Chains A and B, each alone.
Chain A
Amino acid sequence: MSILSVTGVSRAFGGVHALQACSLEVDEGSIAGLIGPNGSGKTTLFNVVTGYVRADQGAVRFRDEDITGLKPNQVFARGIGRTFQLTRIFERLSVLENMLVATQRQEGWLRGLTRSKSSAEEVATALELLDFVGIAELAELQAGALSYGQRKLLELAYVLVADPQVILLDEPAGGVNLTLINRIAEKIRALNAQGKTFLIVEHNMEFVMSLCDRVTVMHQGCNLVSGTPEEVRRDPKVLDAYLGGGEEEFEEVAGG
């Protein structure tokens, strides 16, 4: 049963149709991949789902609820977390404070004024998650001092703070070394085993093909093909979309 479904979503920026009647189903408990050439609308789709960009048409549903047009904070509060392609952290806050920003509380906004930054319990959860991604020893460091890879891990960690059901990762393996890519893949598998659903945009084919249960290929703003990694790998339409023919080159990209 699908936990997240996108139906017929369109979005244009001026004359550019970033998304055209794009549809996508993500099954609960799965790791879904989203691939496609640059400019095919993957990030725009993420932005529509998480409320950063309004859809001109179409609907986004999370479980049984229509979440189309909700604000990013409301989407996050419902249990959909995301990371960004270029990591975005709060550089002048400490790593631990970065985690605490994401802490969700069921309290009126005025209560935030009188309540302290964090309870002992919240700090413990934050440290646990930092430990999970492997940067707990950096908790007191100013986040601006982190390396690119550490930032990726921090971003993953603070999205987990609110215990989201669905996690959208925008190029988690982009620009990091192989060891770290493997570590990130391992964390994703561990979280998936705990029941978390993933939707991952990624250009690293090996990463996508080895990790994902289902892969959707996007092309010019719409979903072209969906299937298991094997099916997608063999689909001629995918090769056309990526390379306009030229089978050998795709084999190279796919690492096959």
Chain B
Amino acid sequence: MRHWSRAAWALGLAALALFPVVVSNPAYTTIGVFTLIYMACATSWNMFSGYTGYIALGSAVSYGVGAYTMALVSIHANMTPGASMFWLVPLGGLLATLVAVPIGAIALRVRRHTFVVITIAIFFVFQLTAINVGFTGSTSGLILPFISWSESYYNLPFYYVGLGLVIFATILSAVVRRSRFGLQMLAIRDDEDRALGLGVRTTAVKLTGFALAQFTIGMAGALYAMFVGQIFPQFVFDPLFDVSIALMAFLGGFGTLVGPLLGALILESFQQWLTLSFSNSSLYLILFGALFLLVILFMPQGIVVFVRDRVTRRVAREKAAVAASETTLAGSGA
């Protein structure tokens, strides 16, 4: 089983790494870049929300902070357009983490449903502020230093930095899950007060997890800004961002490691393909809404758990069948 799963991970990684080599059409590698960005974000979101059970719907704040870090620093520092701007990606993540500390300190004072509402409220404060202050470019947005790479080359660096973010987010999520800290987050998910009564410093654990999860999302926002070259407050501080990554995590498997990767891979590539094919960027909303209902109704634990349960049940049934036939044989032999 372990070998099998290791092989699956290696195969998945190889497929992602080779994709732009095999498919050179920039229209499709663009889809690839967006898909990787969302895979990293959904995984990182799941590392906090999936493990603790606290559904955070304000992660677009981190995405926006990351995007604006990239835009403002590259513009005001007069950076040479090009690969050196990638250094701002981790800076975007760092700032998103710092901003998340006070947000988390406020939002995590309340439990569950109230927490969800508070994160949404904080998000709108940031969105409205970004639209109404001058330095964000307001509704006309900001234009980043223009990177003049050739059309056939342009997507490649972004694709592989995006892949790097996915690998980083996945490894971090796996390490956290295996750590004592991850165990404490899972304990909080099951019964927070009981965990507190067993000596778990729940507030510190939740805040650390929340802030840590924002790091990759901030980096993804910065990468996005550099990739598209022009950002608007209403698009980087987008409420649909959180709805999307939450749906991706739920579709794939809330709280699992592979789930958010799978969910984002399916949904984001599908959404981008729809946009490309029908030149309608809101069509996906209707489909996402319907899909969300279907997932909650029929696969509330997501694809990964759904499939795993089927497989376990089948293996158990086969074992039982083998055992039964053996008893019959033994019976007829005697």
Measuring CB to CB, which residues of chain A are less than 8 angstroms from any residue of chain B? 50-52, 71-73, 75-77, 82, 84, 88-93, 97, 100-102, 104-105, 109-110, 112-118, 158-159, 161-162
| Residues 171-191 of chain B, each 1 if its beta carbon lies under 8 Å from chain A, else 0 | 000001011111110110111
Contacts of B202 in A (CB 8 A): 73
Chain A residue at smallest Cβ distance from B53: A92
Measuring CB to CB, which residues of chain B are less than 8 angstroms from any residue of chain A? 176, 178-184, 186-187, 189-191, 193-202, 204-205, 208
A76–B193 alpha-carbon span in the complex (Å): 12
20 other contacts beyond A82-B197, A91-B190, A113-B179, with CB at 8 A cut-off? A50-B197, A52-B193, A72-B193, A76-B197, A77-B199, A84-B194, A89-B190, A90-B187, A90-B194, A105-B180, A109-B201, A109-B208, A110-B208, A113-B208, A115-B180, A116-B180, A117-B183, A158-B198, A159-B198, A161-B198
A101 and B208 in contact, given A90-B187, A93-B186, A112-B179 (Cβ under 8 angstroms): no
Q: Is the CB of B197 within 8 A of A162?
A: no
| Selected contact of A112 from candidates B184, B186, B194, B198, CB within 8 Å | B184
A113 and B186 in contact, given A73-B196, A89-B191, A102-B198 (Cβ under 8 angstroms): no
A88–B197 alpha-carbon span in the complex (Å): 11
A100–B184 alpha-carbon span in the complex (Å): 9
| Selected contact of B199 from candidates A104, A115, A118, CB within 8 Å | A104
Contacts of B190 in A (CB 8 A): 89-93
Within the complex, the shortest CB–CB distance from B317 to chain A, in Å, comes to: 19
Sorted nearest first, the 7 A-B pairs with minimum C-beta distance are A90-B190, A112-B181, A102-B198, A88-B194, A76-B199, A72-B197, A101-B187
A92–B191 alpha-carbon span in the complex (Å): 10
Q: Is the CB of B179 within 8 A of A71?
A: no
Q: Is the CB of B201 within 8 A of A101?
A: no
Chain A residue at smallest Cβ distance from B204: A109
| Selected contact of A73 from candidates B182, B186, B197, CB within 8 Å | B197
Q: Is the CB of A52 within 8 A of B197?
A: yes
| Selected contact of B184 from candidates A50, A101, A116, CB within 8 Å | A101
A167–B181 alpha-carbon span in the complex (Å): 26
Contacts of B191 in A (CB 8 A): 88-90
* Residue with the greatest number of chain A CB neighbours at <10 A, chosen from B184, B193, B200: B200
Complex A-B: 30 CB contacts under 8 Å:
A50-B197, A71-B196, A72-B196, A73-B197, A73-B198, A73-B200, A73-B201, A76-B198, A84-B194, A89-B190, A89-B191, A90-B186, A90-B187, A90-B195, A92-B186, A93-B186, A93-B190, A97-B183, A100-B180, A100-B183, A101-B195, A102-B198, A109-B208, A112-B180, A112-B184, A112-B205, A113-B176, A117-B180, A118-B180, A161-B198
A158–B204 alpha-carbon span in the complex (Å): 22
Contacts of A115 in B (CB 8 A): 179-180
Q: Is the CB of A116 within 8 A of B179?
A: yes
Within the complex, the shortest CB–CB distance from A161 to chain B, in Å, comes to: 8
A101 and B200 in contact, given A110-B208, A114-B179 (Cβ under 8 angstroms): yes
Within the complex, the shortest CB–CB distance from A16 to chain B, in Å, comes to: 21
Within the complex, the shortest CB–CB distance from B308 to chain A, in Å, comes to: 13
